[in-house]
């Protein structure tokens, strides 16, 4: 079984058939709404600028706002259709409608055509829940990276981040963890601090100043 | 014209050549590893090149960009899995050849075709300079303004089913570019009282967030490696590469046609490498008389056509990028932004005062393509081993290096915050089908667009689009394109409603049988090409998703 990959991820049609587990995805609607709010705010704020600075932001933000509203309406419509049990039952699997009807159109076996045309994970079912939890895990690591950076600074913080992520997420051995972390930190220190003479951020705790270097 | 040519050639000193070679090596590594791609590499190396001498920096950027489609032929052939979307068509015939023990010949053909295609792309760029120069010098602010708008729309139009999302992304990119102090009046816009935002969002952290951090977020959430899913017995005997090289010259018509098609597609904004490879493959299959073996079963011409087109498209893409300052893809947008930051302004300025830089770019294109092909042929097995790298080993170092790069440009903590925030935005944009290519092009071209708009209004008044003939023609073309896309959307919606009423089973039986009878070559359709193009626009120069191979 491939490590790190869902074993039961299949085509979208397979998951549509698992209707009791199907949950409509609200994410696209939220993203569309955020786009509308952001562009609307920018267009509204641009009204307070003098004439010349107002032109670009007002014009393009207003256009984006209108287009965003269209996208939002489409997303809301799709979300409501998905929740409608009659529409779900009548829905044809996208892999049968949107793809070339024969893999020989590209000279490719059927499973490869489907895999290539559906790179994204499904948005329904138990696999979707697993995908969501993996997403939260990825964001958790990004949050940890941010905390390490602001608290411990570049050199110490990034080293700590790499060691922890390689050990916990990657489940790598100590030898490989320390080798990779040490190598990357040494290379970045030489390149950025010595060669490019970048004064690195020490972090809120300023750990480096506590070390007798 | 001889002086700029000699100056361009003279710029290729030992340091520049070594730097280009390093960029090419990095480019091949990135091309092979899934989850990484051309735009990602450019975003990460940008902070490193800004401290260098401009000619050297430009040579590195070109070396990295020009060969980002070369190395992925290795995994396409040996494992049947492309390292990036531009390697898909190579799997059609490359993998069957490898299964027959002809992996070496396939790799030789793939690399030689890529090199020849890249050289022909460079020649096309050189030939087009005197043709394009008078056109560029004759158009003004109004024409440039509408050209940029048309290019943004054309790039979003590539993904017809997500046209609106592409336009929203482009508009968002334009809006974000307006953050900061406006050049002529000094008015601060959308700064929320933050001094950091007075200079606007910085390019390097923006790119790093959008392409590097977003990709690492996706890689971390998906995990895995393609090596876990491939057959235990890899088809990695690569002896016989020289025969593949000779095949490229034996089938010179296929090579030439594929290369020219790639150049043409490169010139058109938004289409990119995926369209080039499929169109060239389809064209070669249709033109072949009684191919033996058939296309899709190990015919070397299929590899030659697709790989020649994939690499020649870079030369074509550089024509609008350098001559008009209008990039047609996210890689070209990052390259353009890098050139501007290095003090080289594409457009009329490039063709009047910086011809030596243009010629240096052409020579670097030729050298980089030849070097990349030679390198990959010699070290194919070593490169193939990179596919065993797991996401857990790739993500932490890349995230750390990315943050270093984001910080190094202006040494401000705000850049790190920008990179992380844009990374989250980029992740969700990719996930929900918003084009990052139009976002980054809008962001890069926003200041230029605003300047052209203000100049046009000042020179020609509020009706500048209507009293400038060339601008009016382009505007009419844009309106027709918009109306055409709306009409097509209406037709597709009507067809979808009709299909929804049909029973699922047996719907496509008749069509499928007819296609199978016709064979793969004749059945290749625009629909299939459009689907592949829309996937390219989604993945945007990044590598194929590991979960694509989930059922191998």
Three-state SS for B87-144 is HHHHHHHHHHHHHCCCHHHHHHHHHHHHHHHHHHHHHHHHHHHHHHHHHHHHCCHHHH
CB of B160 less than 8 A from some CB of A: no
**Residue B455 neighbours by CB distance under 10 Å:** 16
Mean pLDDT on A2-18:
31
Element (H, E) at B277: helix B272-287
Mean pLDDT on B370-386:
82
The pLDDT, as a whole number, for residue A85 is 62
B406, pLDDT greater than 70: yes
CB of B44 less than 8 A from some CB of A: no
Q: How confident is the model at residue A138 (pLDDT cuts 50, 70, 90)?
A: very high
Nearest-angstrom CA–CA distance, A188 and A106 = 45
Mean pLDDT on A22-31:
77
Backbone angles phi, psi at B394, to 5 degrees: -85, -45
DSSP SS3 for B188:
strand
**Residue A109 neighbours by CB distance under 10 Å:** 13
How far apart, in Å, are the Cα atoms of B368 and each of A98, B371, B383, B484?
39, 5, 17, 40
Mean pLDDT on B101-130:
90
Q: Which of the two residues, A5 and B273, has the higher pLDDT score?
A: B273
Element (H, E) at B193: none
A8, pLDDT greater than 50: no
DSSP string covering chain A, please? --TTS-TT---HHHHHH-GGG-----HHHHHHHHHHHHHHHHHHHHTTS-HHHHHHHHHHHHHHHHHHHHHHHHHHHHHHHHH-HHHHHHPPPHHHHTS-SSGGGTT--HHHHHHHH--SPPSSHHHHHHHHHHHHHHHHHHHHHHHHHHHHHHHHHHHHHHHHHHHHTS---HHHHHHHHHHHHHHHIIIIIIIS------TTTTHHHHS--
B212, pLDDT greater than 80: yes
Give me the percent of chain A exceeding a pLDDT of 70.
63
Chain A stretch 70-129, residues whose beta carbon is closer than 8 A to a beta carbon of chain B: 70-71, 74, 90-93, 96-102, 104-108, 111-112, 115-117, 119-121
Q: How confident is the model at residue B109 (pLDDT cuts 50, 70, 90)?
A: very high
Chain B positions in Cβ-Cβ contact with residue A64 (cut-off 8 Å): 167-168, 171-172, 174-175
Chain B positions in Cβ-Cβ contact with residue A108 (cut-off 8 Å): 91-92, 296
Chain B stretch 476-515, residues whose beta carbon is closer than 8 A to a beta carbon of chain A: 496, 499-500, 502, 504, 507-508, 511-512, 515
Cβ neighbors of B397 (< 8 A, separation 6 or more) are A162, A180, A184
Give me the percent of chain B exceeding a pLDDT of 90.
20
Q: Which of the two residues, B71 and A3, has the higher pLDDT score?
A: B71
The number of residues in chain A equals: 213
The pLDDT, as a whole number, for residue A39 is 94
Nearest-angstrom CA–CA distance, B275 and B534 = 9
Mean pLDDT score of chain A: 74
**Residue whose pair of structure tokens reads 């993998």 in the numeric block:** B95
The number of residues in chain B equals: 552
The pLDDT, as a whole number, for residue B7 is 83
Q: Which of the two residues, A211 and B91, has the higher pLDDT score?
A: B91
Interchain CB distance below 8 Å, A52 and B189: no
The pLDDT, as a whole number, for residue B455 is 86
The pLDDT, as a whole number, for residue A191 is 78
Chain B positions in Cβ-Cβ contact with residue A146 (cut-off 8 Å): 420
- The pLDDT tens digits for B514-528 are 444 433 333 333 444
CB of A42 less than 8 A from some CB of B: yes
Cβ neighbors of B149 (< 8 A, separation 6 or more) are B449, B478
Backbone angles phi, psi at B379, to 5 degrees: -120, 35
- The pLDDT tens digits for A155-172 are 889 999 999 999 999 888
B174, pLDDT greater than 80: yes
DSSP SS3 for B81:
coil
Locate A143 and state its tokens: 């949050």
Segments in B342-379 forming alpha helices (H): 348-353, 355-378
Residue pair B89/B52 in contact (Cβ under 8 Å)? The answer is no
Residue of chain A nearest B226, judged by CA positions: A2
Mean pLDDT on B178-204:
87
Residue of chain A nearest B449, judged by CA positions: A56
CB of A211 less than 8 A from some CB of B: no
Nearest-angstrom CA–CA distance, A159 and B62 = 32
Q: How confident is the model at residue A143 (pLDDT cuts 50, 70, 90)?
A: very high
Residue of chain A nearest B297, judged by CA positions: A107
Chain B positions in Cβ-Cβ contact with residue A105 (cut-off 8 Å): 515, 520, 523-525, 527-528
How far apart, in Å, are the Cα atoms of B275 and each of B20, B88, B264, B474, B537?
27, 11, 11, 24, 10
The pLDDT, as a whole number, for residue B351 is 78
B511, pLDDT greater than 50: no
Locate B400 and state its tokens: 């750390």
DSSP SS3 for B251:
coil
Burial class (CB in 10 A: 0-12, 13-18, 19+), A189: middle
**Residue whose pair of structure tokens reads 């063709």 in the numeric block:** B351
DSSP SS3 for B498:
helix
Which residue in the set B224, B411, B532 is minimally distant from A2, CB to CB?
B224
Interchain CB distance below 8 Å, B416 and A149: yes
Nearest-angstrom CA–CA distance, A110 and A94 = 14
The pLDDT, as a whole number, for residue B308 is 93
Which residue in the set A115, A141, A166 is minimally distant from B548, CB to CB?
A115
Q: CA quadruple B430, B434, B438, B440: dihedral positive or negative?
A: negative
Mean pLDDT on B17-25:
92
**Rounded to 10 degrees, what is the CA torsion of A165, A169, A171, A177?**
-20
Residue pair B265/B279 in contact (Cβ under 8 Å)? The answer is yes
Q: How confident is the model at residue B160 (pLDDT cuts 50, 70, 90)?
A: low
A45, pLDDT greater than 50: yes
DSSP SS3 for B471:
helix
Mean pLDDT on A90-97:
46
b/e map of B473-487 (b: 16 or more CB within 10 Å)? ebbeebeeeeeebee
Residue pair B274/B536 in contact (Cβ under 8 Å)? The answer is yes
Mean pLDDT on B196-217:
88
Backbone angles phi, psi at B181, to 5 degrees: -85, 130
Mean pLDDT on B5-28:
89
DSSP B549: G
Asked whether this complex has an ipTM greater than 0.90, the answer is no
- The pLDDT tens digits for B230-280 are 443 455 556 678 889 999 999 999 999 999 999 988 887 766 666 788 888
Interchain CB distance below 8 Å, A74 and B400: no
- The pLDDT tens digits for B479-493 are 887 788 777 777 777
Q: How confident is the model at residue B5 (pLDDT cuts 50, 70, 90)?
A: confident
Which residue in the set A5, A57, A116 is minimally distant from B178, CB to CB?
A57
CA proximity to B136, closest of B125, B126, B127, B147 = B147
The pLDDT, as a whole number, for residue B506 is 44
Nearest-angstrom CA–CA distance, B54 and A62 = 38
Locate B50 and state its tokens: 């800004």
Interchain CB distance below 8 Å, B496 and A97: yes
The pLDDT, as a whole number, for residue B229 is 47
Displacement of CA B368 from its chain's centroid (Å): 17
Locate B195 and state its tokens: 């001094």
Nearest-angstrom CA–CA distance, A185 and A19 = 49
How far B490 CA sits from the closest chain A CA (Å)? 14
Chain A positions in Cβ-Cβ contact with residue B175 (cut-off 8 Å): 38-39, 42, 57, 60-61, 64
Nearest-angstrom CA–CA distance, B190 and B179 = 5
How far B128 CA sits from the closest chain A CA (Å)? 33
Residue pair B519/B11 in contact (Cβ under 8 Å)? The answer is no
**Residue A59 neighbours by CB distance under 10 Å:** 17
Nearest-angstrom CA–CA distance, A178 and B458 = 62
How far B50 CA sits from the closest chain A CA (Å)? 10
Interchain CB distance below 8 Å, B508 and A101: yes
b/e map of A15-43 (b: 16 or more CB within 10 Å)? bbeeeeebebbebbbebbbebbebbbebb
Mean pLDDT on B134-140:
77
Cβ neighbors of A7 (< 8 A, separation 6 or more) are A1
């Amino acid at each position: 079984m491939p490590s790190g990959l869902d074993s039961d991820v299949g085509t979208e049609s397979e998951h549509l058939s698992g209707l009791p587990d199907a949950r409509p995805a609200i994410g696209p609607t939220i993203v569309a709404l955020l786009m509308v709010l952001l562009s609307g705010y920018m267009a509204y704020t641009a009204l307070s600028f003098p004439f010349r600075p107002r032109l670009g932001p007002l014009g393009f933000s207003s256009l984006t706002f209108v287009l965003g509203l269209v996208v939002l309406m489409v997303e809301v419509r799709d979300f409501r259709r998905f929740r409608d049990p009659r529409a779900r039952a009548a829905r044809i699997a996208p892999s049968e409608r949107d793809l070339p009807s024969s893999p020989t159109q590209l000279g490719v076996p059927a499973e490869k055509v489907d895999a290539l045309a559906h790179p994204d994970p499904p948005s329904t079912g138990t696999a979707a829940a697993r995908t969501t939890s993996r997403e939260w895990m990825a964001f958790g690591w990004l949050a940890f990276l941010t905390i390490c950076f602001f608290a411990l600074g570049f050199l110490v913080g990034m080293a700590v981040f790499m060691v922890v992520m390689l050990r916990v997420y990657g489940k790598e051995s100590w030898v490989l963890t320390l080798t990779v972390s040490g190598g990357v930190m040494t290379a970045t220190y030489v390149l950025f601090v010595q060669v490019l003479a970048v004064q690195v951020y020490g972090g809120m705790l300023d750990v480096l100043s506590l070390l007798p270097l | 014209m001889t002086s700029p040519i000699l100056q361009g050639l003279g710029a290729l000193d030992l340091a520049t050549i070594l730097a280009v070679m390093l960029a090419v090596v990095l480019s091949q590594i990135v091309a092979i590893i899934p989850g990484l791609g051309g735009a990602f590499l450019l975003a990460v190396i940008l902070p490193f090149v800004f401290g260098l001498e401009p000619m050297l920096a430009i040579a590195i950027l070109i070396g990295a960009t020009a060969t980002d489609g070369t190395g992925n032929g290795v995994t396409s052939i040996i494992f049947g899995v492309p390292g990036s979307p531009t390697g898909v068509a190579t799997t059609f015939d490359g993998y069957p050849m490898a299964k027959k023990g002809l992996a070496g010949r396939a790799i030789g053909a793939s690399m030689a075709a890529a090199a020849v295609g890249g050289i022909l792309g460079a020649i096309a760029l050189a030939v087009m300079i005197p043709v394009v120069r008078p056109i560029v010098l004759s158009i003004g602010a109004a024409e440039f303004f509408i050209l940029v708008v048309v290019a943004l729309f054309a790039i979003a139009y590539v993904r017809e089913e997500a046209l609106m999302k592409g336009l929203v992304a482009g508009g968002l990119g334009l809006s974000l570019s307006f953050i900061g102090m406006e050049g002529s009046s000094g008015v601060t816009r959308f700064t929320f009282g933050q001094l950091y935002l007075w200079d606007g969002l910085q390019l390097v952290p923006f790119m790093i967030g959008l392409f590097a951090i977003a990709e690492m977020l996706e890689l971390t959430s998906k995990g895995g490696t393609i090596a876990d899913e491939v057959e235990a017995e890899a088809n990695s005997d690569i002896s016989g590469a020289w025969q593949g090289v000779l095949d490229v010259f034996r089938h010179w018509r296929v090579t030439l046609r594929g290369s020219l098609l790639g150049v043409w597609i490169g010139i058109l904004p938004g289409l990119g490498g995926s369209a080039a490879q499929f169109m060239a493959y389809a064209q070669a299959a249709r033109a072949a008389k009684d191919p033996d073996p058939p296309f899709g079963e190990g015919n070397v011409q299929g590899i030659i056509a697709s790989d020649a087109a994939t690499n020649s498209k870079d030369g074509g893409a550089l024509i609008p990028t350098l001559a008009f300052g209008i990039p047609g893809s996210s890689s070209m947008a990052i390259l353009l932004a890098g050139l501007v930051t290095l003090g080289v302004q594409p457009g009329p300025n490039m063709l009047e005062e910086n011809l030596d830089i243009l010629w240096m770019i052409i020579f670097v294109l030729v050298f980089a393509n030849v070097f990349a092909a030679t390198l990959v042929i010699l070290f194919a097995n070593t490169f193939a081993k990179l596919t065993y790298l797991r996401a857990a080993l790739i993500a932490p170092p890349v995230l750390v290096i990315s943050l270093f790069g984001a910080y190094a440009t202006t040494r401000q903590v705000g850049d790190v915050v920008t990179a992380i925030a844009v990374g989250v935005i980029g992740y969700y944009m990719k996930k929900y089908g918003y084009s990052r290519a139009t976002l980054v092009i809008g962001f890069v071209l926003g200041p230029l667009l605003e300047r052209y708009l203000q100049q046009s209004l000042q020179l020609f008044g509020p009706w500048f689009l209507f009293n400038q003939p060339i601008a009016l023609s382009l505007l009419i073309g844009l309106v027709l394109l918009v109306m055409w896309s709306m009409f097509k959307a209406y037709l597709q919606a009507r067809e979808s409603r009709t299909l929804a009423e049909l029973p699922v089973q047996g719907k496509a039986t008749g069509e499928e049988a007819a296609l199978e009878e016709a064979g793969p070559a004749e059945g290749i359709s625009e629909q299939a090409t459009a689907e592949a193009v829309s996937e390219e626009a989604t993945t945007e120069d990044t590598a194929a998703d590991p979960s694509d191979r989930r059922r191998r």
